[in-house]
Amino acid sequence: MKKGDVLSVARIAAIQAAKRTAELIPLAHPLPLTRIAVDCSFDDQAHRLNIEVTAETLDRTGVEMEAMTAASIGLLTVYDMCKSVDRGMRIESLRLLEKSGGKSGHFKSE
């Protein structure tokens, strides 16, 4: 793309977003993140890009908001970088896949 390596820029944007979640979401509190992993994969048949974010902390709370904020911003970055080719792109199905720790314990999406 003209703007550069889309997936590399999206990864950086996602990591930055995870670190700044407390600034973006009212009443979210800042967390010391110990790991943020951003995995991008293509589904060629569906013409779909998937971004999955794993966030971890040693704190006593979950980091699902950090992971979902990161995924959202990563996808918005892809849209921004690719909109000159296709303005009809859609961002769909943002969801929590799995969470462990914190007060609410373990959650796994079906």
DSSP string, the chain: -TT--HHHHHHHHHHHHHHTHHHHSTTPPP--EEEEEEEEEEETTTTEEEEEEEEEESSSS--HHHHHHHHHHHHHHHHHHHTTT-TT---------EE-SSTT--EE--
Active-site hit among 5, 39, 80, 86: 80
Q: Is 44 a catalytic residue?
A: no
Please choose, from the candidates 63, 66, 51, the residue with its C-alpha nearest in 3D space to the C-alpha of residue 100: 63
Q: Which residues are catalytic?
A: 80
